[in-house]
Chains A and B, each alone.
Chain A
């Protein structure tokens, strides 16, 4: 029952809306927290029921709605959307948990957060293009209001900018969907039906580039990104967490699902352009982040950079790189959530996010040592230090994209180095040094402030040490997209014949030397042959 994920938060929002004002003021947070917890538990339950061997849609639901328009209520989840649905539930829960208990107008606030979670879940689940568009637009309203009501000083400007950009993005996406439906002659918006269209490449390219601009605004790719730093700076912390953690993923998800999924030939034709855009985004975002002085802007520009990796991997379009793209979506979702949570606490306690004003916050008694340590973890995870999930996601992205776009991948890797630069600047300025007098009387940090960040940190480290828990949901789907839609061979595993066999032998024996000779990488660098390790997993597992 996927509908629960969409409608339960709406019901919860209605419930909160009907409760008396005094009760919401006292208990609104707890009530919405309970709803969000139930949703999180339910999405985890769904994940536990998810069939890992099935690459296609699962838990599908279908109800006719407006047949004349081709609009049906179709939901389904596969390996591409499942992790994002779970992340959405998790971050919605964390956003409510990290909300200020004494926030103004609590009723509206919690209603909007729940509606936002519902719309995003709906967008990830819809299997009908129009339905996706509806959810995509619905998500815009609560976020606009959250920024416009609870935002910072320039909230009007930021919220309007966000609204206009995203609305334009929605119009472009809708026009591409209409174009596809009209030109293909299916008079349906069913994703499964539209996949079988036979449009000529030129038409596909036009539609794909419309989609690319539409979703590119959401991702955001350079130069369509300027709404993001403003929106982040003005948004309250929970909104920033959701914005960076899930809403940006709508863009990459849309590109993968609709861009790649519906126009595979065109995708392959313009993949090198996409890779070039990815490089531009990565380097531009990273360089711009170095020059910022607002902590939130640093994290926002770092998002621009890190979303570029997803685009690079998506452009490469091998099964491994698609898997890397999904992993990078998850890891960026959690890592940027952690960073925004940390910045939120710093801002709440000190009243500023300016790295030229803040100093020495790691001070053990009067500063924010735990939050500072968690921020260091977040920064290091973002910079790709092993042991945290950012590293393995980026490693897979690099490793897989290198086969297709070696130069672009190497350029993107410079972005990793630059990530270290700007986060180190931030940490050195804000957390290291001596705590100045004007920051010496900070309000105490309670454990409630730390718990959201602690939870995310634990997840980041857990998935960093045990990445297969993050990857295994999407394996089959990624392989299916790459092989069936893009027609890429899952490269036959060349028999390197390593001494994996040694695992079967008693360990006291000397390791078996290579039985078969290596297949030398003969024609370098023209074709970069790939020798892969055998599917010895089975050998080991049977051992």
Chain B
């Protein structure tokens, strides 16, 4: 039985992909009579199957060592590509979390996109999304992971561009694709290099290879940075962070997955690559600098956002920055735990925010208020999600952050400063959003705000309960730190930072005496933060400028120099032919004269040659 389960573990990604393919008759308009709903049902059914299957595999693999499954794919002279899967507690667990969240998001989408005409297309893309992510979770091959990351890039593009008739959506989809593509391209360079010098692309082999290999620092550094670039793009880390913020133009159910598990997929691959990154101290330093900058920068930027989804998405970047720091300090377990706890909490927050958006038809925080008493399930979900995101109450992220702090305490204590800053700022931001959305007086758009329908409420409540139970589960799995090891000072600092952040939030945003809108800092700082430190301008004067000017110059060169030369030759030959035409007079004496002169010249030349040779 167990063997059968291991051998069929590669089906898990196939369910999602099959669901995507099966929706084709509806998404391309072959079947119109039934409406798009059957496509959604098929996909949900497929996800349920995937969930059950993953559940069984997880049960089977729980107390066993990891198993590898090799599927020969392409065998060429001197080069073999295998699709390698690994069934370990971690990988199957990750696949389980992904399918579960995907199921919840899909049910949620039934309600959220109830009246959307392109429901079938949405579900096709969600199936694609889910298949690619579970594939990454189970993959034990860098080649396969790279391929699936690229497929995630494609499906992100299509999901962000779902409502493609809106101009903002179009540019957001483009930016999402190109930013991720920059990262993927560098990753591809790393993959090709690694395949050549390591000979294998399986993570298992790469780990062993990295343990014994001696690389020159330059090669190791370049390799590490190239490999790092892919996850940097996927996890929306500086300088490839802008897309996640813009991607919030897409439909909310996809944002649930994007902010919880899609970004986690990038980090997951990064964790698998850590042994190779560790070959180069430079790469690890770059990793930590990027992570640290993003963690602090994105936390600050989040506070300045007035778009409800963007405010949350920046905090996703910040948490992934913490994950980067954990990987940089070589603590993969903690990175995984943070990914799990953050993913679940963020998914819950996005569900709650989605309910708010659907009810109020706006994403602008300044137009909201007073929803607290009207939407009980939503406010509960928000409060639980927010509490589980920060280190204040003993819910998910508190424990992950505690472990994180414990981990770096021994090696780089100053890093705890970043953690505390992120914790405090996130706490402040979440309370700020809570105050603006649920507190205060109702505004025009929130006056008639019923609770959402059961299709959205059910997944939201389910996830609320799961989030509340997560610490218990972690305790069961011995994921919680041992009390005897815990440093009371770290707990104190963590709680303190959370308390200060939330307290400040409560003071400014839940206090009716403070006038709204609250202005904490000067206009210039606020705008810098609101526009993400103007990072789009950085793109504009670097990569975009280079590409645009290169393209313009090449096109100019092509048109006027290369083609111009060709046309010049053509025109010159035509022109000389045309002008010679006018020497034709039609009078026989002219022809005779020409003939005569020609013969004389020829004879003279002949004579000259003859005489010069003779003498």
Contacts and interface: CB of A to CB of B under 8 A. Distances in A.
Contacts of B209: 518, 520-521
A385 B553 CA distance: 28
B34 interface: no
Nearest to A376: B158
Contact of A508 (B3, B66, B174, B185): B3
A524 B196 contact: no
A282 to B, nearest CB: 12
Contacts, number: 223
A328 to B, nearest CB: 14
A520 B562 CA distance: 49
A116 to B, nearest CB: 25
A413 interface: yes
Contact of B199 (A291, A494, A524): A494
Contact of A290 (B2, B551, B570): B551
Interface residues of A, number: 95
Contacts of A529: 197
A262 to B, nearest CB: 23
A525 B216 contact: yes
Contact of B6 (A161, A318, A507): A507
Given A392-B74, A402-B196, A530-B196, A432 B79 contact: no
B208 A514 contact: yes
Given A386-B148, A420-B178, A499-B204, A226 B79 contact: no
B204 A521 contact: no
B188 A496 contact: no
B161 A432 contact: yes
Contacts of A288: 551, 554-555, 558
A268 B199 CA distance: 25
Interface in B171-190: 171, 173-174, 177-178, 181-182, 185, 188-189
Interface of B: 2-3, 6-7, 28-29, 65-70, 72-80, 82, 117-118, 146-148, 150-151, 153-154, 158, 161, 164-167, 169-171, 173-174, 177-178, 181-182, 185, 188-189, 192-193, 195-200, 202, 204-205, 208-209, 212-216, 219, 547-548, 550-555, 558, 562-563, 566, 570
A414 B185 contact: yes
Given A226-B558, A471-B74, A508-B3, A420 B214 contact: no
Contact of B200 (A362, A498, A537): A498
Contacts of B199: 494, 496, 521, 530-533
Counting chain B CB atoms within 10 Å of each CB, the highest count among A226, A363, A403, A431 belongs to A226
Contacts of B165: 360, 363, 432-435
Contact of A511 (B28, B67, B174): B67
List the 10 shortest-distance A-B pairs measured between CB atoms, nearest first: A531-B199, A291-B555, A386-B147, A290-B551, A287-B554, A432-B164, A291-B551, A417-B185, A432-B170, A226-B563
A424 interface: yes
B29 A364 contact: yes
A385 B77 CA distance: 24
A399 B193 CA distance: 8
Contact of A226 (B198, B552, B566): B566
A98 to B, nearest CB: 19
A537 B67 contact: no
A177 interface: no
Nearest to A373: B28
A500 B81 CA distance: 12
B234 to A, nearest CB: 15
A421 B197 contact: no
A352 interface: no
Contacts of B202: 498
9 contacts: A291-B554, A320-B76, A496-B199, A498-B205, A517-B212, A521-B197, A521-B215, A524-B219, A537-B72
A385 B28 contact: no
B79 A399 contact: yes
A302 to B, nearest CB: 13
Contact of A524 (B78, B215, B553): B215
A323 B554 CA distance: 31
A420 B157 CA distance: 12
Contact of B80 (A223, A510, A537): A537
Nearest to B548: A290
A479 B158 CA distance: 41
Contacts of B188: 398, 413, 416
A400 B196 CA distance: 8
Contacts of B79: 320, 396, 399-400, 532-533
B204 to A, nearest CB: 7
A316 B252 CA distance: 48
Contact of A468 (B65, B75, B197): B75
A399 B72 contact: no
Contacts of B219: 524-525
A369 interface: yes
Contacts of B196: 399, 402-403, 528, 530
Contact of B66 (A428, A468, A511, A517): A511
B75 A493 contact: no
Contacts of B150: 384-386, 391
A364 B178 contact: no
